[in-house]
Each structure stands twice: as structure tokens, then as C-alpha cells.
Structure 1
Amino acid sequence: MPPAGGPFRPTARTSSEGRAVGRTETLLAGGNGTGTVRRTTLPGGLRVVTETLPTVRSVTFGIWARVGSRDETPSLNGATHYLEHLLFKGTERRSALDISAALDAVGGEMNAFTAKEYTCYYARVLDRDVPLAVDVLCDMLTGSVIDADEVEAERGVILEEIAMTEDDPDDCVHDLFARTMFGDSPLGRPVLGTVETVEGLTRDRIARFYREHYDPTHLVVTAAGNVDHDQLTSLVHAAFDRAGALSRADAEPVGPRSGSHPVHTAGRVDVVRRSTEQAHVVLGMPGLRRGDDRRWALGVLNSALGGGMSSRLFQEVREKRGLAYSVYSFAAGHADCGLFGVYAGCRADRVHEVLKLCRGELEQTARHGLTDEEIRRAKGQLSGSTVLGLEDTGALMHRIGKGELVWGDQLSVDDLLARIAAVTPDEVRAVARDLLGQRPSLSVIGPLGDRQAERLHEVVA
């Protein structure tokens, strides 16, 4: 048996009728509390990845599509999310009610989400109900009719969702920050789209987008829990084959994204004035692309700077001075670029004091780094939160799905912990110097007056 994490030699799988249905390999051998991760690549380029955990009674089944809002043109902004809604609205075999009732009848949960680089549809069910979950979700992904009446009805729902987001400024300010850093580019536009773009999307344009981006070569099917890989693969193969979606026998899966995306010029300030009780601010700069080897050091830096109650920002802004209830740092990595930022929500008359403190902590950390004790504590926090965050089948399904579709690699929990443990203080200080020493940009939503808004430029000078 090879060591954990090392792949077995691929083997061909056959259906019950003896037809070859794909090549299978074991990506992680399991053990030490983690499941065995296997992958089968079916004809047509469809990948099936599972993590088997015999000790649980549930399974989370998901289908990932390599399409997100960054794949949209300006006039199609919001199409990926719109389509996510519409795939729940009926197929040639099921009505919208049939889809929802099927999972409700067995106590299952079903949902989906759209991000900038991918979309995921998933269902969590008892292990005995996996065939049902596979049948329903595969039918949705391959057989949606995208009915014109449903397109019109769902348009109102999505416009309400946009309005709901606009009413949530601590969420909305992150969309504003993306626009501040990326401008009017696919990464700078909101995942939901805008009122104008959603109103302009037609049934034909959405259907064409569906046909272009839901090819099996762009899909990854995942499942985590008490699931048998061979049985699940056979179910998925049958469902996609029945829909005629695996006809291109020689097609190969599309790999992870690559390329280069410019981040906006530093020192930019964007302010949206709104009659909210608090001002919501994000101060940040370019970060690391998702595959950068320094991302492990950045994770430690993020934990120490603004990732917990003992972090520098939490202590300085909230505990010592009581200037904000919520303050934290974050790192976001895309295939070709990234962001690092600090969020805070506070009263409008405290904005400049809060921002001065945050900018000061960024500069102090860039110049002098973190102490060895802060780094030790941050590594412990990051390790613990990583393991605790993977203690359910939904999180495991999410990990293996992103591993296959986004990273092109699968890491065991032990691998993750080893990467964190291997980070040195010098590596953390180096990434702090490289990133936090940059001139930041700023996004603000809140009830600021003219003079307050003008003074914000001092923060990023």
C-alpha cells in the first residue's frame, strides 16, 4: 500500500454490463481519522470524486461547475447566479415542486451557491437516500428546460435578493471593495449582477450561457460521507448517460484556471453615502493568488493580525478602545490574483480613528513583523480551526470539490496541518513586509458628511 496522500495506479472501471466507464485512482489512502479519497474520470471528461467515511450515516453530494461571475461579459453580469436559481425550476422529468418535494420527503437538504470562479449545487441526505440525491441533482444539471415563464418569475426573486444585499451594508461593502480594487472588470462586478443587468437578461441568453458552461468537461461531481465510490460512480454515469451528456468519449476535463489579472492602482477611495447606523469600511491592498506558495504564511499572518479575539486588530480596536463591535482581517485568493483587507463597522464619528488604528497596525506589522509568540498562537488557531471546520460531510464535500476543480490537488488533513506547522517566523514576516507595506485602497459605506469623506484620502496617502 502506498503512503497516505500518494495515488494508486489508475484502474479502468466497467459498468454492470461490462462497458468501460472510466479510469479510477485513489488520491488519498485515508487513515488517521480521515476518509479515502478516490476519483474516476468518466467518458466525456466528467470527474467523480468521493471521500468515504463509514462511521457516519449521512452523505453530502455535490456538483461543481467551473463557471462563475468572472466568466460573464458586462451585459451578462448576474447570469451565472440567475442560472443557479433556474436549475431548480424544472426539468423534462420534474417540476420545481417535484424537485423540492423529493428531498423534503426524506428529510434532506438541498441548496446551491455562486462564486466568482465556480458554482456548486449540493444535497445532504441519509446514506440510504444517495440514489435519490444523485438522480435529482444530475437531472437538474443536465435536463433543465429553463422555462420562459420561470425566467420571468425568478427575475423578481433575484431583484429582491439584490435589494436584500443592499440592505446589508457589512456585506455590500465587500462588493464595493472588489470594485475599488478591480474596477469594471469581471472580478470587480457583483456576483448577483445589478438591477439593470438582471432586468436585461433574456431566456435565450441564459439558455445559451447554460449550454456553453455546463459541459461535463467543466463539471466535478463530489460526495463525502458513508458512500461507496463505485456505486456512486455508476449512478452518476447512468444519470449523465441517460441525458446524452457523455457522448464525447475522448473529451478530457478542463484544468484549473490560470492567467494574470491586474489589481487596481493603490490609493483609491470609494465612498457610498447611506443612512445606516454604522459606517462600514474595508481597507486593503493586493494579496496573493490562490496557488502562491506563500499562502500558508499569509494564513498565519491573517490569524495573528485579525483572525481571533487575541489578534492585534481585535485587541487594539475593540478591547482596548471600544471603537467597534466587529473588526477582522481577511485574505481572498483567486486563480491569478488576490486581495488582503481589514473590515470594521463603527459609528460615523469614529471612522477616522478606527482607520488610523488599522492603518497603523498594518504599517507596524509590515515594518517590524509579528513576535514569535503571536506566530505560535496564530499557527495553533489556524490548525485547530482547519480541523474543526472539516468535522461534517458538507465541509468535506466542499474541500474535495474545490481541491479537484480549483486547486487540481487533494491534501489530507495531515497534509494541511503539516503545511501550517512548517511555516517559519521569517516567512510570516516576509509576507507581511511584501503585502502590508503596499499603499492601501479604501471602501466605505455609511452616513458620512462631506468633510468626513474628503478626509478619507488622508488614510491611504
Structure 2
Amino acid sequence: MSPAIPLPLEVPELDVDVAGGARFRRSILPGGVRLLTERVPGASSVAIGYWVPVGSRDEAPHQYGSTHFLEHLLFKGTPTRTAFDLAVSFDRVGGEHNAATSHEHTVYHAKVGADDLEMAIASLSDMITSSVIDREEFETERGVILEELAMADDDPTDVLWERFYRTAFGAHPLSRPIGGTPDTIRATSRDDVWEHYRARYRPQELIVTIAGAVEHDEARALVTRTLAAGDWRLDDAAAPAPRRDPTPADVIPEDGLALVERPLEQVGLILGSRGLRRTDDRRHALGLLHRIFGGGMSSRLFQEVRERRGLAYSVHSFAGSHADAGVTGMYAGCAPAKAAEVARVMRAEVERLVADGVTDAELDDAKGATAGASALALENTETRMNRLGRSEVYAGEFVDLDSALERTSAVTADEVLTLAGELFGGPLLATAIGTLPDDARAELER
């Protein structure tokens, strides 16, 4: 089996040829900034990500929602670039730029043609190091975020997912909504967000990932120069910050059925349980389990719930992983009158999975699907850029396509059976949204 490439924090330079003729390089820059690049043969674009390993779980009580608030505010201008300047810089070259906040990281990302790499790096470096977080802009963006939260609250799937996380993680910080709540956003002050920014956006935390038509030495010079021009002190002796502790979290789920009552045309159902941490060696078996169980049109859940019985339009299984905890489960949306039967069928299918495991034919098909989907995904430079970021932020190793597929190919049916029993063999957490009939309530509460 091909080895992964370890990413120790004390090694300043790595340079390795990887699958498909690509070249992986990693440098630790002044201040402890980490730069990872993957040069992809034949690419004409570059995808860039500036990663800060801070998410909603890291917020102090008086700062709930500040991480996501800050993500918005970094687009609102610096001493040398207005918000309009930043927008025009990417729009005029047909590029894209955006950001995303999760429970455990925030990433500011862009995709441009290879000739516009310098512009993209200069803009993102300026945003990260030198945002002014103007008080007037802060109040304007508060209104935008409240509208975003209202939009999410109108989406039953978003509400159901947030409620499931609260059920699964109880009092743990992972249970909190990533964007905060309307009350916490209204209560958050500009000074709270500024404090969060200055405390967590530091050179030793920053990870820059670039994939596509990139030359590492050129990128290193650009990133170093543009960060040094900002409001950061780049100490040559500084080391990267340690990665998040992967020790399994002490999580106590909520008891009983979690129901969000709303007058909807459908009921949304989640039956779930604890999952795996991001670095768990069994994650390849978990991926195959979900591909067989609920990951596509030929999956067991889709075939039984939708194709054979016509009970639902949307039905699938899922897994979510974090540094020290995870969730897994299954979802369906259906008419209220069908909710009890859907829940019974979902339970029956998961019980069959735990009792009998998967067949060799199913496992072979899942491995083939994984190989094909992975190859297709890696034609996208953004996918490669994100893979670099997650490798550095969480895994501490880089696994190229060949190595990943070898690990997947090595999974056995017995390993999938054992994992299914561990994850689904006990009581399932039930979460629902909509108007739930009594028979469905009884089925979900059992």
C-alpha cells in the first residue's frame, strides 16, 4: 500500500511527486504560516484557499456567531482596498471568490486563471491581515446576517439538521449553530468580533493551499511578500500552532424524540447515532458503508424507500466528522401520513445492515464507484485545494488518489459489518420537523 505523506509541523520543506503526474510541495514560511501547493499537469486555473482553523465551536459565550460574522466582514474592506475594489478585482477577470465557516475552520477561497494568481493572493492576504471591520459596515452586515439566518429558518432541512446536531452533541460546543442565532447576532458587538479576529487570525494559525497551474516557489514569494505588507508581524522563529486535539470528546446526547413542530407539507426525519472522528482509520470503511446503504440511486435505502414503496422523494444516509467526534445516520422527507412507515422501513434496513453486513458484490460496486467519483472530483482544482487544506488542518498527512484508493480497496466486508454494528447497533437518535401523527411519534420514540 502506498504510504501517506506525513505533515509534521517541525519539517520546513516537503517536495513529493504524487498520483497523476502532480507535484505536492509544502513550506513553513516566516511566522509559522504553512503553504501547500499541488501543481496539476494541464491545468489552466488555480484555486486558492486561506484557512484559519477556528470555527463556531471555538467561540466564547459572548461571541457566539462571531466566526461567521467575521467571515462576512473580511470582504468589507482594508486600508488599501474597499469592498467594491475586492469584488471588482475578481469580477473583471472572470474569477470567483467566497468564504465558508464550519464548526472547526473558516476558509477564504478563490479560483482564477493562472495569470491572475498574484492578484488573488494579494487580495486574500490583505483581507486576512488588514481588515478594518468598520463600525458602520458592521451594522450593515448585521442586517445581512439576520436575513441569512431568516432564510435558513425558512428551510426545513436546515432547521432539521441544526436540531439533530443539538440532539447528537448535547451541551458540547459542536451542538451550536454555526451562524449563531438572531438573538446572539443582535447582541454581538463590533468589539466582540474585533477581539475574536485579533486573537485567532495569526500567522502561526494560517494555512494557504493552492492547486492547479501553480509554481510553488513563485507562490511562496507572493504569499510571503503580501502577508508581510499587511498588519502582521512575521517572526522567522515562530512555529505553526498545534493541530486540534483529536482525543475523543465526552459527548452526552439529548434523550427522546426531538421534534420541531411546523405546519409543513412534509415531515423531515433523521435517525442517527455517533460517528467517526476525521482521522479514524475506519473512515474508508465508513465511506463504503454509506455508499452501499444510502449513497446513491442503487443504494439500499433509496431502492427500498423510494423505488419499491414510493414513500419518499428524498432519502439518503450521511456521515459528518470532526476532530474529536462525529455523527452518522439517515434522512427522509415524506408526507405526514407515511412518516410511521418510512421510519419503520429505515429501522428495518439498518437492522438488516447490522445483522447481515454487505455482500461482496455490493462492496466491489462501492469500491468501483468510489474510484470513479474520486477521479472525476480531482479534475476540479477546487477539490484539490480543499483536499490540501483538510490534510493540513486535520489529518496531518496528505493522501494522494492512488494511496486513497488502495486504502479503500483493502476494506473487507467483515470490517464494514463490524463498523455497522458499532455505529448502528444501539438506540438511534430521532429528530423530526413538521406535523407528526401519533403513530409516527410512537415509532420514532421507541
Which TM-score band (shorter chain)?
over 0.9
Match of 1:186 among 157, 165, 173: 173
* 1:59 alignment partner AA: V
CA distance in 2 between partners of 1:271 and 1:386 (Å): 37
Give the equivalent residue in structure 1 for 2:14: 25
Question: Per-residue CA shift, 1:156-184, capped at 9, x if unaligned?
Answer: 11011111111111222111100011124
CA distance in 1 between partners of 2:397 and 2:46 (Å): 22
Give the equivalent residue in structure 1 for 2:430: 442
1:419 aligns with 2:416: no
Note the C-alpha offset of 1:423. Answer: 0.4
1:143 aligns with 2:123: no
> What SS does the aligned partner of 1:272 have?
strand
Give the equivalent residue in structure 1 for 2:53: 66
For residues 48-447 of structure 1, the aligned pairs below 5 Å read 48-258=35-245, 259-265=247-253, 268-447=256-435
Give the equivalent residue in structure 2 for 1:14: none
Change in Cα spacing, 1:351 to 1:7, as seen in structure 2 (3 Å) is closer
Question: Per-residue CA shift, 1:37-82, capped at 9, x if unaligned?
Answer: 1011012100010001241111011100100111013332211000
CA distance in 1 between partners of 2:328 and 2:17 (Å): 35
Note the C-alpha offset of 1:4. Answer: 8.3
Note the C-alpha offset of 1:368. Answer: 1.6
Note the C-alpha offset of 1:144. Answer: 0.2
Question: Per-residue CA shift, 1:286-317, capped at 9, x if unaligned?
Answer: 11111111111111111110001111100110
CA distance in 1 between partners of 2:127 and 2:357 (Å): 50
Change in Cα spacing, 1:64 to 1:253, as seen in structure 2 (3 Å) is same
Note the C-alpha offset of 1:380. Answer: 1.6
Give the superposed CA RMSD: 2.0
Report percent identity of matched pairs: 45
Contact 1:273 1:447 survives alignment (8 Å): yes
Change in Cα spacing, 1:345 to 1:6, as seen in structure 2 (3 Å) is closer
* 2:359 alignment partner AA: T
Give the equivalent residue in structure 2 for 1:19: none
Give the equivalent residue in structure 2 for 1:17: none
Structure 1 range deviating more: 166-175 or 119-128: 166-175
> What SS does the aligned partner of 1:33 have?
helix
CA distance in 2 between partners of 1:359 and 1:233 (Å): 52
Note the C-alpha offset of 1:265. Answer: 3.6
> What SS does the aligned partner of 1:444 have?
strand
Change in Cα spacing, 1:425 to 1:390, as seen in structure 2 (3 Å) is same
* 1:41 alignment partner AA: I
Give the equivalent residue in structure 2 for 1:47: 34
Contact 1:54 1:227 survives alignment (8 Å): no
The alignment's TM-score, normalised by the length of structure 2, stands at 0.95
* 2:354 alignment partner AA: A
Give the equivalent residue in structure 1 for 2:444: 459
Contact 1:269 1:457 survives alignment (8 Å): no
Question: Per-residue CA shift, 1:315-372, capped at 9, x if unaligned?
Answer: 1100000000010001111111111110111111111110111011111111121112
CA distance in 2 between partners of 1:267 and 1:364 (Å): 25
CA distance in 2 between partners of 1:68 and 1:381 (Å): 32
CA distance in 1 between partners of 2:176 and 2:96 (Å): 30
Note the C-alpha offset of 1:267. Answer: 5.2
Note the C-alpha offset of 1:23. Answer: 3.5
CA distance in 2 between partners of 1:457 and 1:338 (Å): 27
> What SS does the aligned partner of 2:297 have?
coil
Contact 2:62 2:192 survives alignment (8 Å): no
Question: Per-residue CA shift, 1:72-116, capped at 9, x if unaligned?
Answer: 133322110000000000001111101101111111110010011
Change in Cα spacing, 1:325 to 1:67, as seen in structure 2 (3 Å) is same
Contact 2:354 2:425 survives alignment (8 Å): yes
CA distance in 1 between partners of 2:217 and 2:8 (Å): 16
Structure 1 range deviating more: 255-264 or 173-182: 255-264
Gaps of 5+ in 2: none
Change in Cα spacing, 1:267 to 1:230, as seen in structure 2 (3 Å) is same
CA distance in 1 between partners of 2:97 and 2:91 (Å): 9
Gaps of 5+ in 1: 12-21
CA distance in 2 between partners of 1:8 and 1:315 (Å): 42
* 2:261 alignment partner AA: R
Contact 2:68 2:179 survives alignment (8 Å): yes
CA distance in 1 between partners of 2:342 and 2:73 (Å): 43
Note the C-alpha offset of 1:262. Answer: 2.7
Note the C-alpha offset of 1:198. Answer: 0.5
Note the C-alpha offset of 1:10. Answer: 12
Change in Cα spacing, 1:79 to 1:266, as seen in structure 2 (3 Å) is closer
Note the C-alpha offset of 1:444. Answer: 0.6
Contact 1:7 1:25 survives alignment (8 Å): no
CA distance in 1 between partners of 2:377 and 2:342 (Å): 31
